[in-house]
Amino acid sequence: MGKKFAYIRVSSREQNENRQLDSLQGLKVDEIIVEKASGKNFVGREKYQAMKAQLRTDDLVIVKSIDRFGRNYTQICKEWESLINMGVDIQVLDMPILNTRDNQNGLTGRLITDIVLKLLGYVAERERDNIKIRQAEGIASAKSRGVKFGRPISDIPKEFLRGYELYTQGLITVKDVMGMCDIARSTFYKYAESIKS
């Protein structure tokens, strides 16, 4: 029997990994890897890649759910296959049929696991797409109700507001406003965008 690794992933620093840690109670795990990174791909996940470099034949990788493994359908399937080809088993706690160590019933067990994996990978990616759509709809809805995003105008220096007014009237150039306020070109456009929105 190899080592047991638990991989825990949350998408952002604000999210809490306790729910995933709680799911490990009663399991004997040799190493717990906690990572705060997007599930869109495996490349930018340093801790996952470091764990993968340690994996050997007969090791086991445990995840709470398939979406903690990733949210990109193609990459989930590719990464899953990569681990299986290394001789590593995978256990998805909330989907026992995806426990490759227990489901070694030959070709039929492998076929069922592959079908379920692909279905769940598809669902995980669709959920990621739906999150983006809901986020965009929420922003559009808020903007239509007058909610302002970005830097508040009150944080913009008064000199810039005066200079920007002269600029919009065609009396001075962007370079003039930059010189008046001692700001970079990118800051000029950032402030200008805040005023327009």
Q: Which residues contact 137 (CB under 8 A, 6 or more apart)?
A: none
Q: Is 140 helix (H, G, I), strand (E, B) or coil?
A: helix
Q: At what angle do helices 73-85 and 106-144 cross, to 10 degrees?
A: 150
Instruction: Return d(Cα 190, Cα 46) in angstroms, integer.
Output: 32
Residues 6 or more apart whose CB falls under 8 angstroms from that of 86 comprise 55, 56, 57
- How many helices and strands (H and E) does the chain possess? 8, 4
Q: Is residue 11 annotated as a catalytic residue, yes or no?
A: yes
Q: Which of 11, 38, 65, 194 is catalytic?
A: 11
Helix (H, G, I), strand (E, B) or coil at 82: helix
Helix (H, G, I), strand (E, B) or coil at 144: helix
Interatomic CA distance for residues 42 and 141, integer angstroms: 33
Burial grade of 190 (CB within 10 A; 0-12, 13-18, 19 or more): middle
**Is 44 in a helix, a strand, or coil?**
coil
Give me the active site residues, please: 11
